Homo-oligomer: A and B are copies of this chain.
Amino acid sequence: MSRFLDSISTIISIFHQHTKEDGDHSKLSRRQMKEFIQREFADVIKPHDPQTIDKILQFLEWDGDGEIDFNEFLLLVGIHEKEKNEQHE
C-alpha cells in the first residue's frame, strides 16, 4: 500500500476506534472529540489550554448538530496544515 493510502487508513481507523465507544458509530460526540484532541494533539496544544480546544470544537462543528462526523473531523487535518504553512512563511 502506498504511504499516502496507509496514512489515510490510519486516520480513518483512529476515527472509527473512537466512534465505536458509544451510540452512533459514524459520529463523535463533543465529549469524545475533546478527549481525542487532548490525547492526540498533546504535542502541539498546551496541556491546559481549554480555550484553544473549545475554539477548535466550535470550528469543527460547522453544521451545529453537536456531533462531529468524518468530514468535520477532517477539518482538523486542514487546521494543522494551515498552521504548518504559516510557520514556514
Residues of A within 8 A of B (CB): 1-12, 14-15, 26, 39-44, 70-71, 74, 76-78, 80-81, 84-85
Main secondary structure on A side of the interface with B: helix
Contact of B39 with A2 in the complex, beta carbons under 8 Å: yes
Contact of A14 with B5 in the complex, beta carbons under 8 Å: no
Contact of B74 with A70 in the complex, beta carbons under 8 Å: no
Contact of A4 with B10 in the complex, beta carbons under 8 Å: yes
Return chain B residues, CB-CB under 8 Å to A7: 6-8, 10-11, 14
A15 to B7, CA, bound (A): 12
Contact of A3 with B10 in the complex, beta carbons under 8 Å: yes
Contact of A40 with B5 in the complex, beta carbons under 8 Å: yes
